[in-house]
Amino acid sequence: MPGTGNISSPPFIFGGFSLNCFTFALTLRGIARIVAAAMRKWLTSVVLCICSAVCLSNCSAPRGTAEGPVVLDIGHCVGAGGARTPRAVNGKRLQELDWWYEYVGYTKKVIEDAGYKVYVCNRGDEPEREPLATWAEQADVDHLGEPDTGHRYPSDYYGDRVASGMVSADYAISRKASCAVFLHHNSERGWRRRGGSKSLIICNRYNGDRLAECLASALNTKVLNHGMPNGGIECKVQVRCKDATRAAGWMNACDDSGIPAAVVEAAFLNNRRHALYLSNPATARHYAETIGHGIVDYLRRYGNEPRHYREDTDTPDCGSFGYAAESRRIRVPGADNLWED
């Protein structure tokens, strides 16, 4: 019927194919969209590459500041709980990890009551067994989910700093911590029934001496030989910077970001008198609180002092790569230029 039906456009012939004007326009439009999308994708990739290069050349790892929080790290992890008493004391065997889960809240409270922000972390997974799960919740522990058991790996921020448990140091760096304290106990073989143990506070070489001194002083005046017998031996400070030595990797990574760091290794679980002291809830709490008082003393006296930051992260130093052979094995950049420890 007149006035009804489809109106066809004159056909065009291309290589034997017939297309009307309408179809041809749609085809061109589709091709244009595909080309435009491909161009946008290519240009976006170029821009991202340029931006990434600029960021990598201008951005550095987070730096610790006096205004940053205190980071407390509970040493070891579920499944690898660290030192233990050789036998039961007051009805139970003490384990390093469990003890700090139970008492870290007292350390944290002392620091918070003094007006400072505190984060507690642990390298491993969140504990499921009780009472650890309850203690972890009470202390609001951040579990970092890397329960390594001896494997060394590099820092996310400083590739030449290699250690087991490096994730905890990286956590402190990410928080821009005012200081970081790694909470441990120590142990030797067999019961020590007489005499003292070599109590230590380990620290990083550029930023940690004041922190370590305040912790050692607090322990020496309030705990060691003042309720917890130690044969008259006082807690000493030891600087560690060679990564092949235990804990030095954490110390160096924190040092690079200007974060004073210390490892508490003052109590020995194989020392029966230390174990008795730590198995008593009242004196155990006092020990944990003393660590908090040492940290507060440091923050009040020295927290605003200038910090040392590592400026040249491309040049290895005497504390680089925990161990040259291990660094070569995991192919850390620059490892071939290192000497053996």
- Model confidence at 86: pLDDT above 80: yes
Count the Cβ atoms, other than its own, within 10 Å of residue 49: 10
Q: Are residues 35 and 75 in the same domain?
A: no
Q: Are residues 23 and 159 in the same domain?
A: no
3-state secondary structure of 288: helix
Q: Are residues 239 and 149 in the same domain?
A: yes
Whose tokens are 């210390």? That residue is: 262
Q: Report the CATH number that the domain containing residue 253 is assigned in CATH.
A: 3.40.630.40
The confidence score (pLDDT) of residue 163 equals: 85
Quote the percentage of the chain above a pLDDT of 70: 74
Q: Which of 150-159, 214-223, 267-276, 291-300 has the lowest mean pLDDT?
A: 150-159
pLDDT-derived band at 321, boundaries 50, 70, 90: low
pLDDT tens digits along 5-55: 443 444 444 444 444 544 444 455 556 555 544 554 344 334 333 333 333
Q: Provide the number of structural domains found in the chain.
A: 2
CA angle 64, 68, 72 (to 5 degrees): 90
pLDDT tens digits along 175-198: 999 999 999 999 987 787 777 899
Q: Are residues 91 and 113 in the same domain?
A: yes
Q: For residue 195, what are the CA distances in angstroms to 233, 273, 307?
A: 9, 9, 39
Please give the Cα distance from 147 to 38 (Å, whole number).
44
Q: Are residues 158 and 216 in the same domain?
A: yes
Taking the model in full, what pTM does it have? 0.78
Is 242 inside any structural domain?
yes
Q: Are residues 234 and 136 in the same domain?
A: yes
Is 248 inside any structural domain?
yes
Whether 267 contacts 186, CB under 8 Å:
yes
The residue type found at 122 is N
Highest averaged pLDDT of the listed ranges 48-52, 148-152, 308-312? 308-312
98's tokens: 């469990």
Q: Which of 50-59, 155-164, 246-255 has the lowest mean pLDDT?
A: 50-59
Is 326 inside any structural domain?
no
Q: Are residues 53 and 74 in the same domain?
A: no
Q: Are residues 165 and 109 in the same domain?
A: yes
| Mean pLDDT, the chain, integer | 82
Q: Are residues 119 and 252 in the same domain?
A: yes
Is 282 inside any structural domain?
yes
Q: b/e per residue, 159-196, with b = 16+ CB within 10 A? A: bbbbbbbbbbbbbbbebbbbbbbbbbbbbeeeebeeeb
Whether 190 contacts 240, CB under 8 Å:
no
Residue 279 CA to chain centroid, in angstroms? 29
53's tokens: 């290069």
pLDDT-derived band at 224, boundaries 50, 70, 90: very high
The domain in which residue 35 lies consists of 12-58
The confidence score (pLDDT) of residue 147 equals: 86
Is 48 inside any structural domain?
yes
The confidence score (pLDDT) of residue 337 equals: 55
The confidence score (pLDDT) of residue 52 equals: 33
Q: Are residues 154 and 219 in the same domain?
A: yes
Q: Are residues 152 and 38 in the same domain?
A: no
Kind of pairing, strands 118-122 and 141-143? Answer: parallel
